Amino acid sequence: MPEFKTLGQFIIEKQADFPYAKGELSRLLRDIGIAAKIVNREVNKAGLMDILGNSGSINIQGESQQKLDIYANEQFISALRCGGECCIVASEENENIIPLNDVISQHAKYIVAIDPLDGSSNIDVNVAVGTIFSIYHRVSQNGPATLEDVLQCGTQQVAAGYIIYGSSTMLVYTTGKGVNGFTLDPSIGEFCLSHPNMQIPKDGLIYSINEGNYVHFPKGVKQYIKYCQVEDKATNRPYTSRYIGSMVADLHRNLIKGGIFIYPVTASAPNGKLRLVYECNPMAFVIEQAGGRATNGKDRILDLEVNKLHQRSPIFIGSEKMVMRAEAFMEEAGVLTFNDIVNL
C-alpha cells in the first residue's frame, strides 16, 4: 500500500522548511482547500441545480459572469475571511481589492490573489474548469493593507497553485520548494498526496493555443504554429494540438505530459488577455518550480513589473525547450506587441 498522506498532514510536515513560519501559511492553504471542496461539490451537481448559465451581470473584465463564477468567488472570500490569515483578497471578479477588515483578519500577514473559476464558460458543457491562487506577504507595516501590498512582482510569491475540477479534483501547489499534487478522495472528503514532486518534461509534443484567432496572431506565433505542424520524424513533428479553453486544464495536462500553452497578443487584446496578478504569475511560479519556463515571448513572467490590479500579459508557458523555441521564432520575427502584428 502506498503511504497515505493528506494535504493537511503534508503542509504541517513541510512547515519545517520555513523556520520563520508559525503556522499561518499552513492554515491559509487549509482554508483554500476547504473552499475548493465546497466549489467542487457545486460543480459536480451543477446540472441538477439552477447554477448553470449566465448570471446576467458583467465583471470588471467586461466578461459575462456565470452563476458559478459568482458562487466560487463568494466561497473563497468567505473561507479566507473566516480563516483569519488573509488581510486582502484580489479577485478577477471584483474591480477593487477586498480588504478583510474584521478584527481577526485586518492584522493578518498574507495577501491572496485568485481567479475563482477559470474557464467557467465550459461548465455548461461539462468540461474541466479550475481555480488559480497566489499568496504574498503583505509589505505594509502599519495600518490597513493597501493596493500596494497586492502589486508585487511575481518573484515575491510565497505560494501559488491551482485546483482542477475534472474527472477527479486535484489541488496542485508550490511554496518555492517543488510542486506537489493532491487528489480529492470523496469517500473521506480529503485531498490526498497523489503526485509528489511533479516535474514537467523538458520537451513535449503538445501545443495549446486558440487557433481560431490565428489570423490575428503576431508573425512569430504564426511561424511557430507552422513549425509545430510540419512533418519531421527527427523532432517527432507534427505536434498534437490540444486546446480546452481553460488555462488550468490545458496547463495541467501539459505539466504532466509535456507541452506549451500560448496566449499571445491579438488585435482585440493588444496587451494580452490573461491577467498577470492572478493567472500568469501563479501559473508561472508553479511551472518554473516544476522545471518549466514562462515568459511573455521575451521576458520572464515573474520578473514583470506589476502596475495595475487587472494588468494583462501575453504568456508562453510550459516545457522549457518548447517555450525557448517559440521565443526564438518571436525574436526572429521581431514582434511582440500589437503595433508589430502583421497581416491582421
Residue 159 and residue 75 share a domain: yes
Q: How far apart are CA 185 and CA 200, in angstroms?
A: 24
Residue 169 and residue 99 share a domain: yes
Residue 60 and residue 191 share a domain: yes
Check which CATH number belongs to the domain holding 145 and give it: 3.30.540.10
Q: How far apart are CA 194 and CA 184, in angstroms?
A: 9
Domain assignment present for 62: yes
Which residues are CB-neighbours of 249 under 8 A, at least 6 positions away?
119, 127, 128, 129, 130, 164, 166
pTM of the model: 0.91
What does residue 320 show for φ and ψ, rounded to 5 degrees? Answer: -55, -50
pLDDT in tens, 268-309: 889 999 999 999 999 999 999 999 999 999 999 999 999 999
- Do 336 and 327 form a contact (C-beta atoms < 8 A)? no
**Residue range 204-223: mean pLDDT, rounded:** 95
**Residue 55's pLDDT band (boundaries 50, 70, 90)?**
very low
Domain assignment present for 316: yes
Residue 169 and residue 65 share a domain: yes
Q: Which of 195, 218, 244 is the last residue of a domain?
A: 195
Q: How far apart are CA 344 and CA 338, in angstroms?
A: 10
Three-state secondary structure call for residue 269: coil
What does residue 214 show for φ and ψ, rounded to 5 degrees? Answer: -50, -45
Asked if residue 338 has pLDDT above 60, the reply is: no
Lowest mean pLDDT among 10-24, 66-80, 276-290: 10-24
**Residue range 329-343: mean pLDDT, rounded:** 62
**Residue 340's pLDDT band (boundaries 50, 70, 90)?**
very low
Check which CATH number belongs to the domain holding 276 and give it: 3.40.190.80
The enclosing H or E element of 11 equals helix 7-14
Residue 175 and residue 34 share a domain: yes
Cis peptide before 238 (omega within 30 of 0): yes
Domain assignment present for 137: yes
Domain assignment present for 1: no
Residue 304 and residue 190 share a domain: no
- List the domain range (segments joined by +) for residue 86: 7-195
* Closest-CA residue to 136 (of 153, 118, 120): 153
DSSP for 320-333? HHHHHHHHHHHHHH
Domain assignment present for 201: no
pLDDT on residue 140: 87
Q: Which of 195, 216, 243 is the last residue of a domain?
A: 195
Residue 226 and residue 166 share a domain: no
Name the average pLDDT for the chain.
Answer: 88
pLDDT on residue 104: 64
Residue 177 and residue 61 share a domain: yes
Lowest mean pLDDT among 45-59, 72-86, 187-201: 45-59
Residue 179 and residue 217 share a domain: no
Domain assignment present for 43: yes
Q: Which of 171, 195, 219 is the last residue of a domain?
A: 195
Tell me how many domains the chain contains: 2
In terms of pLDDT, which residue wins out, 4 or 50?
A: 4
Distances (CA, A) of 109 to 85, 150, 213, 250: 7, 12, 42, 32
Domain assignment present for 2: no
Three-state secondary structure call for residue 293: strand
pLDDT on residue 114: 97
